[in-house]
């Protein structure tokens, strides 16, 4: 029996930034996977270790000011360097639980928290 997990997050992106969005998540270790044909070309799925990001291309896209997805990126420094080299804004922020953290701004203005390691488990 599988335990509970967050399986996917859907993010709206401008249609002209869909390919750049795929690139952004690829730099964080996510790979494009097949989505159901019935969804059409306006929705692209990327996945890493069973977690998916569903990229929805829409002219009416929205991005919250502070709300964000957070991903654990074991190769934290390297991932930040890859994003910066590709032209993305990455800002280091304070450590939590003794681990480095940063925020990156992806296509469409979405904030993504990059965590060097997850928080300790609670009882």
Do the Cβ atoms of 35 and 45 come closer than 8 Å?
yes
CA–CA gap between residue 101 and residue 80 (Å, rounded): 10
Average pLDDT of the segment spanning 9-23: 92
CA–CA gap between residue 88 and residue 106 (Å, rounded): 7
Question: What is the model's pLDDT at position 38?
Answer: 61
Q: Encode pLDDT of 62-92 as tens digits.
A: 888 888 888 898 888 999 999 999 999 999 8
Contacts of 69 (CB under 8 A, 6+ apart): 9, 11, 53, 110, 112, 113
* φ, ψ for residue 4, nearest 5 deg: -70, 140
Percentage with pLDDT > 90 across the chain: 48
Q: Which two tokens stand for residue 103?
A: 């925020």
CA–CA gap between residue 99 and residue 96 (Å, rounded): 6
Domains and CATH numbers, the chain: 8-59+68-115 (3.10.180.10)
Q: Is the pLDDT of residue 120 over 70?
A: yes
Task: Report CA 68 to chain centroid distance, whole Å.
Answer: 9
pTM attached to this predicted model? 0.86
Question: What is the model's pLDDT at position 79?
Answer: 94
Q: Encode pLDDT of 105-118 as tens digits.
A: 998 899 999 998 87
Q: Is the pLDDT of residue 5 over 90?
A: no
């Amino acid at each position: 029996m599988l335990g509970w997990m967050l399986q996917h997050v859907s993010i709206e992106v401008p249609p002209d930034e869909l390919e750049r969005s795929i690139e952004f998540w690829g730099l964080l270790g996510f790979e494009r996977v097949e989505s159901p044909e019935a969804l059409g070309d306006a929705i692209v799925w990327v996945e890493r270790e069973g977690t998916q990001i569903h990229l929805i291309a829409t002219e009416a896209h929205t991005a919250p000011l502070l709300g964000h997805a957070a991903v654990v990126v074991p190769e934290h420094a390297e991932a930040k360097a890859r994003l910066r080299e590709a032209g993305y804004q990455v800002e280091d922020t304070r450590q939590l639980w003794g681990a480095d953290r940063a925020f990156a701004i992806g296509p469409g203005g979405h904030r993504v928290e990059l965590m060097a390691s997850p928080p300790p488990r609670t009882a």
